[in-house]
Structure 1
């Protein structure tokens, strides 16, 4: 297998381009170098007549598969955000360009979403033409835990979930498995984890006459349903369909008969109050956007996450508490949902750039 770098392995076998994320000690968390490698490889294969389709997987400490990708490298984000490293800006611009390329890729792009698939891992799989989950899939957009928002196109793909599921997943960061992922339009097919290697190798061995044939082959060897029953969304819709964050937390805290309501209220109380307001607005705006417009909005938002209030970044503080000092005691500002002024969260939706100079202005549908 050829290397782009040690963290991203790529090769062409038969008529398919194969990518393996190879940073298992970090659960394949995406560095700027990995983003650049992926973007360069996909652009090269996009115009290569030998390559009819692309397949991507992760690796674990036990070998290939096991986990897909845990997200972006948050330690890098904390350090860069704390020191003014300009590579922070490069990371988000280039990562979102990669997400857009995957969403608009002209060839089948097949994502083997085994194990942990979170944050940036969702960004490099949700735009796939085939999103394959296993019984081991643990899927989430947990950014509010670190004072961020579900980026990498999260506004776009979460807002396409049924009912108020997108609001629920975005605000809480809750984790779902294969059956829920399929029911919520976040996956297309199920494959037992033990059968992934055989399908991967079969893609290399078949004689395909076009990209559609590759896609059809994968569909024929996967299932449309996963074991287990997807959860009912009645409670989710009742609460997360409410118009405001305050209304949601009030409804949850008033429901003493539901363990889910009490646990969800407690979880939301631990999130950045400011970012809960930002995230709710993001999901609801994104419902009427195409993916390029959503990614441009998210690029505006992430700039504000680090620079809206110098020295008071919710994201830097959230990562510090979770992954750097590990005290799990972030000092959010404002500290309570009840104290978030409207002007503060609305500022996240004012672009710092004129449209013609936006770093993602070239993205098209």
Structure 2
């Protein structure tokens, strides 16, 4: 089966190139399986000393998950959508735990599942062209693929990114430590050539080669709004955040009005759960965050707004999603998924 990956060994570098440019490299299930399998195949190969993941698209590294596949799977009554998430998380864990250095080159859109894929790599190199976002609330979903961990470490800015789905630049990502290095887009090919020609590859030598190509980042626009983000997105619940945006500092009035308008278009359930995930994620390990996301994914298609969001934006394209106004059952189920709730239930069973 075509898995939309280009695989090669160049020198001591194993290269996995995402090759689904027509879909901005949205991760299909065969792509996920292919990456996992290739990591296994190279694990004991002495020639391959490091891995590079990159893209063949001039527009995107990866625009996220294959949401059309997920929608069709659910509507057809099969469980392929659950298998997709399970296998995606196996891939992410394989990357994080891989014994050899995994480098990723980002040059274009890095969204949703693509953002999670990049965060699972060991050395993250981005060009100035990259744009980053976890835009899931726009389709009635929540930021997953580890965002409960990597965004929650940014505190109020993580809440802002998770709930609004707004894009940030590579300069912003560098400022927030979401990438490791900034290299000019036109230098990435030369950097790859130097990695290929290296007589040996380990993390230290790879980072020394990257250091020769670093470029000065443009000013971070997000940094200008950090104080405003902290003012508005530090509140404990969604209603307080939105009320706060109605009363911004005059300097940030236009920005606040824009952000409030975006929030008001999003699914209420998706916003509420995204906020809660960011809040609880601050106190959880990466493994706990990933498990919480996985458990929530498996109930979201029945309880959440994703099917309606995908219908409105991708299927019928009427852009008029009919979001739920409340779902107390979902909120209760979410509370029971939290690690503390699990421990309490286990303790009550043992008594």
TM-score, normalised via structure 1 length: 0.87
Change (3 A) 1:144 1:136: same
1:29 corresponds to 2:20: no
The partner residue of 2:267 within 258, 264, 272 is 272
Deviation, 1:29, is 0.5
The partner residue of 2:219 within 228, 247, 252 is 228
Q: Equivalents in 1 of 2:333, 2:4: separation in Å?
A: 37
Change (3 A) 1:5 1:17: farther
1:190 corresponds to 2:191: no
1:164-313 to 2 correspondences below 5 Å: 164-208=156-200, 210-223=202-215, 225-230=216-221, 231-232=223-224, 233-255=226-248, 257=250, 258-308=253-303, 313=304
Structure 2 counterpart of 1:55: 52
1:331 corresponds to 2:322: yes
Structure 1 counterpart of 2:140: 147
Deviations 1:283-333 (A, max 9, x none): 11111222221111000111121123xxxx400000111111111111000
Deviation, 1:6, is 5.0
Q: Equivalents in 1 of 2:101, 2:11: separation in Å?
A: 15
Deviation, 1:342, is 5.7
Structure 1 counterpart of 2:347: none
Structure 2 counterpart of 1:318: 309
Q: Secondary structure at the match of 1:94?
A: helix
Q: Equivalents in 2 of 1:97, 1:288: separation in Å?
A: 23
Deviation, 1:216, is 2.9
**More helix as a share of residues:** 2
Q: Equivalents in 2 of 1:289, 1:50: separation in Å?
A: 38
Structure 1 counterpart of 2:330: 344
May I ask how many residue pairs the two structures share in their alignment? 337
Structure 2 counterpart of 1:82: 75
Kept after mapping to 2: 8 A contact 1:145/1:272: yes
Deviation, 1:265, is 0.9
Change (3 A) 1:5 1:221: farther
Kept after mapping to 2: 8 A contact 1:297/1:349: no
Q: Equivalents in 1 of 2:203, 2:182: separation in Å?
A: 20
Q: Secondary structure at the match of 1:125?
A: helix
1:14 corresponds to 2:11: yes
Q: CA RMSD in A?
A: 2.1
Deviation, 1:5, is 3.9
Deviation, 1:343, is 5.5
Deviation, 1:48, is 2.5
- Name stretches of at least 5 consecutive residues in structure 2 with no aligned partner: 343-351
Structure 2 counterpart of 1:121: 114
Q: Equivalents in 2 of 1:256, 1:91: separation in Å?
A: 44
TM-score, normalised via structure 2 length: 0.90
Q: Equivalents in 2 of 1:254, 1:209: separation in Å?
A: 54
Kept after mapping to 2: 8 A contact 1:278/1:346: no
- Name stretches of at least 5 consecutive residues in structure 1 with no aligned partner: 335-339, 356-365
Q: Equivalents in 1 of 2:47, 2:204: separation in Å?
A: 14
Kept after mapping to 2: 8 A contact 1:17/1:51: yes
